[in-house]
Amino acid sequence: MVYEKEAHIARIAVQKAALLTRSISSQILQNKSSSTITKLDKSPVTIGDFSAQAIIINAIKANFPSDEIIGEEDSNDLKENPSLASKISDALQANDVEFNKIGYTNVSLGSKFESVEQISSIIDQGNSQGGNKGRFWALDPIDGTKGFLRGDQYAVCLALIEDGIVKLGVIGCPNLPDNFESPNYKGGLFTAVKGQGSWYSKLYDHKVDQDFTKDLKISMKNELASSSEIKVCEGVEKGHSSHDDQLKIKQYLGIPVDQTLNLDSQVKYCALSKGSAELYLRLPVSASYQEKIWDHAAGNILITESGGIVTDMTGKTLNFGEGRILHSSGVIAGSKQFQGKVIEAIKETILKKN
């Protein structure tokens, strides 16, 4: 299989990072003030974000040393918060102990974490500027940090991009139920490889197989009777997408309001790919709002490989070869069956008035 090793390492690294974030989530809920800082852009950052980025970059560099990484975080905030840096070091060491119980052999995920300086250096290797040439990974160590802080939905997201094209995506969803109606298990691992489909497995309590095609193959729904049957995913935070504009689209298409799932992070892409919904709306809150590629790269290939489509609000495909910024006007993902109608609805209700 193409990208077999890349997929295997990515899946194990995401699983390891997800284990860490799960283990510390209860601590953060109990004592946010000592586990959270605020960046200049006012978004919350926790020990989970920094630790997960260190774990995944460490694994990538151990196996693919020439690859670059675009990571969301840098270590500047840690240098000004020694108590937080100490907690990250403790969390990473505890995670090593827990992860080793799974029993992986002959798999290197990098050197042992031994000092804050070493951890900071690893985190800062996520400084690639990307572009349309070469090979790099896009990493969001905790996508949906606010959901993580609430004990709700969040995701660990990793994508491999070559010459501006997403080739591989892995998303770990620590709190995603296997079924929204009658859940029996929480924690999903989603994998997509270009030309090889999208796949799902449980996230915890087992070694991920090197052959990802042994997982459950998943696909989007593309055979609804009418647009009124569409289930819609949209974000929880109103600062990330225009809920008012999205309501107009749903009204235009005749989609009942109670058929909306409000979920943080790229979990929305995962819900679509698994058939729990058919449409993801993320309309920009302003003309100046800019998406980051780590917020959509893994989800983009998960949708396209499960039989869906992803565009901006004008119908253009997303371009992941223009640096760290995704220069798109919103994001629309979903069933090919209704994508044309969704774009028509946007033109008639939003773009025409602007």
Q: Is the pLDDT of residue 68 over 80?
A: yes
Same domain, 54 and 167: yes
Domain final residue, candidates 218, 240, 270: 218
Please state, rounded to an integer, the average pLDDT across all residues of the chain: 93
- pLDDT at position 194 is 98
Q: Average pLDDT of 205-225? A: 93
Same domain, 39 and 175: yes
The predicted structure's pLDDT at residue 143: 97
Is 143 a known ligand-binding residue? yes
Q: Please tell me whether residues 88 and 55 are part of one structural domain.
A: yes
Per-residue pLDDT band for 317 (boundaries 50, 70, 90) equals very high
Coil vs helix vs strand at 22? helix
Q: Known binder of ligand: residue 72?
A: yes
On whether 117 is known to bind a ligand per the annotation, the reply is: no
CATH number (domain holding residue 32): 3.30.540.10
Q: What is the pLDDT of residue 183?
A: 83
Is 123 assigned to a binding site? no
- pLDDT of residue 136 exceeding 80: yes
Check which CATH number belongs to the domain holding 322 and give it: 3.40.190.80
Q: What amino acid is encoded at 340 in this protein?
A: G
Amino acid 78: pLDDT: 83
pLDDT at 130: 97
If you average pLDDT over residues 162-177, what whole number do you get?
Answer: 97
Is there a catalytic annotation at residue 49? yes
Confidence of residue 236 (pLDDT cuts 50, 70, 90): very high
Is residue 155 pLDDT above 90, yes or no?
yes
The range of the structural domain enclosing residue 247 comes to 227-351
Q: End of a domain among 218, 251, 268? A: 218
87 and 203, same domain (yes or no): yes
- Number of other CB atoms surrounding residue 275 within 10 Å: 14
350 assigned to a ligand binding site = no
- If asked whether residues 260 and 148 sit together in one domain, one would say no
Q: Are residues 33 and 174 in the same domain?
A: yes
Q: What is the pLDDT of residues 179-191, one digit of tens each?
A: 888 788 999 999 9
240 lies in the same domain as 155: no
Q: What is the pLDDT of residue 354?
A: 61
Kindly state whether residues 40 and 185 are assigned to the same domain.
Answer: yes
Calculate the CA 74 to chain-centre distance.
18
Q: Are residues 174 and 231 in the same domain?
A: no
Residue 211: active-site member: no
Model confidence pLDDT, tens digit, residues 9-55? 999 999 999 999 999 887 888 877 778 888 877 778 889 999 999 99
Q: Which string of DSSP letters, residue by residue, matches 203-257?
A: -SSSPPPS-GGGSEEE------SSGGG--EEE-S-TTTS-HHHHHHHHHHHT--G
Contact indicator for 234, 246 with CB cutoff of 8 Å: yes
Residues 260 and 190 in one domain: no
Same domain, 145 and 253: no
Both 179 and 232 in a single domain? no
The pLDDT, as a whole number, for residue 38 is 83
Least confident of 42-51, 191-200, 244-253, 335-344: 42-51
Amino acid 39: pLDDT: 81
Annotated active-site residue in 21, 49, 264, 304: 49
User: Total structural domains in the chain?
Assistant: 2
Q: Which residues contact 105 (CB under 8 A, 6 or more apart)?
A: none
The DSSP line for 73-128 is --THHHHT-HHHHHHHHHHHHHHHHHHHTT---S----SPP--HHHHHHHHGGGB-
Please tell me which residue in 145, 191, 304, 311 is annotated as part of the active site: 145
- Check whether 353 has a pLDDT greater than 70: no
Last residue of a domain, one of 172, 195, 218: 218
